[in-house]
């Protein structure tokens, strides 16, 4: 026989005194995509600032951006919640993919034919992003979360190994990597959720504070520039979401 949930844990009281009743909420993450082209020096790349049908957020050197589909984002309003929507963020996950292109300024023509193993990221290039970028959750112009990009494990996806295949001094090899261990145990769950209220403005920022050039490279004894390489990062805010009114 099912056990009834006591009233004492059927609702949460937030620091501002407002009450959240669990029957009004669902476990539905929100996500948003950004794209980073090799050679970028952008100091800030925002996410959760656009909706389906608008341009996907990207670095400035991608002069032709993609139009977002349902695979790129599932938010209703760019940069804010709708009036009937709230989010409790318990974790942040980052899902990375690698692509190449012969016309790199055009994000609409990137594919997986240019390099073996794509769209699986390369270990060296993913580590390079980790060393340069931080991820920050901004809510009402205040930073609620900020850590290096590598802190935010995906907890899912193909398992990548560090084996270099066919590497010689003259030819580039290829490694395969993931954003951490593909298991929920790798994901950092916050002990206290971060609340984003109705109509409250928010965004996730990837920050390159020093303006370092993001340079993707091949894997070889003497690495060379990986021309036309782009990384696509899907950022997930994991937690509880108040059912929005259509």
Alpha carbon distance 149, 134 (integer Å): 5
Place of tokens 């954003």: 179
Place of tokens 């398992």: 159
Report, in angstroms and rounded to the nearest whole number, the Rg of the chain calculated over CA atoms.
20
Determine the pLDDT at residue 166.
54
Tokens of 87: 């989010």
Determine the pLDDT at residue 3.
41
Tokens of 32: 């948003």
Alpha-carbon distances, residue 47 vs 3, 136, 153, 180, 232 (angstroms): 41, 10, 17, 21, 12
Q: Which of 73, 29, 3, 14 is nearest to 195 (CA)?
A: 14
Query: Residue 199 gets which letter from DSSP?
Result: T
Determine the pLDDT at residue 1.
38
Contacts of 158 (CB under 8 A, 6+ apart): 120, 176, 178, 182
Q: Mean pLDDT, 10 residues at a time, over the chain (246 residues)?
A: 45 69 79 97 97 97 96 94 87 95 86 81 93 97 94 86 52 75 87 88 97 89 83 95 68
Q: Which of 173, 132, 176 is nearest to 150 (CA)?
A: 132
Contacts of 169 (CB under 8 A, 6+ apart): 220, 221, 222
Determine the pLDDT at residue 149.
97
Alpha carbon distance 207, 216 (integer Å): 17
What phi and psi values does residue 99 have, to the nearest 5 degrees? -135, 160
């Amino acid at each position: 026989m099912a056990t009834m949930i006591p009233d004492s844990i059927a609702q949460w009281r937030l620091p501002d005194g407002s009450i959240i009743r669990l029957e009004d909420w669902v476990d539905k993450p929100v996500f948003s995509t950004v794209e980073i082209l090799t050679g970028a020096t952008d100091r800030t790349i925002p996410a959760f600032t656009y909706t389906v049908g608008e341009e996907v957020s990207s670095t400035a050197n991608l002069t032709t951006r993609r139009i977002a589909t349902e695979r790129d984002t599932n938010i209703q309003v760019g940069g804010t919640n709708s009036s009937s929507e709230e989010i409790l963020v318990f974790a942040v996950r980052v899902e990375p993919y690698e692509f190449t292109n012969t016309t790199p300024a055009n994000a609409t023509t990137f594919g997986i034919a240019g390099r073996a193993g794509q769209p699986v990221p390369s270990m060296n290039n993913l580590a390079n992003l980790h060393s340069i970028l931080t991820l920050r959750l901004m809510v009402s112009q205040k930073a609620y979360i900020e850590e290096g990009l590598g802190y935010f494990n995906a907890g899912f996806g193909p398992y990548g190994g560090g084996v270099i295949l066919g590497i010689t001094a003259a030819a580039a090899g290829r490694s395969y990597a993931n954003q951490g261990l593909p298991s929920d145990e790798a994901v950092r769950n916050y002990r206290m959720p971060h609340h984003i209220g109705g109509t409250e403005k928010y965004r996730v920022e990837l920050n390159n504070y020093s303006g370092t050039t993001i340079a993707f490279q091949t894997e070889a004894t003497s690495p060379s520039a990986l021309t036309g390489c782009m990384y696509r990062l899907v950022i997930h805010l994991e937690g509880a979401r108040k059912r929005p009114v259509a």
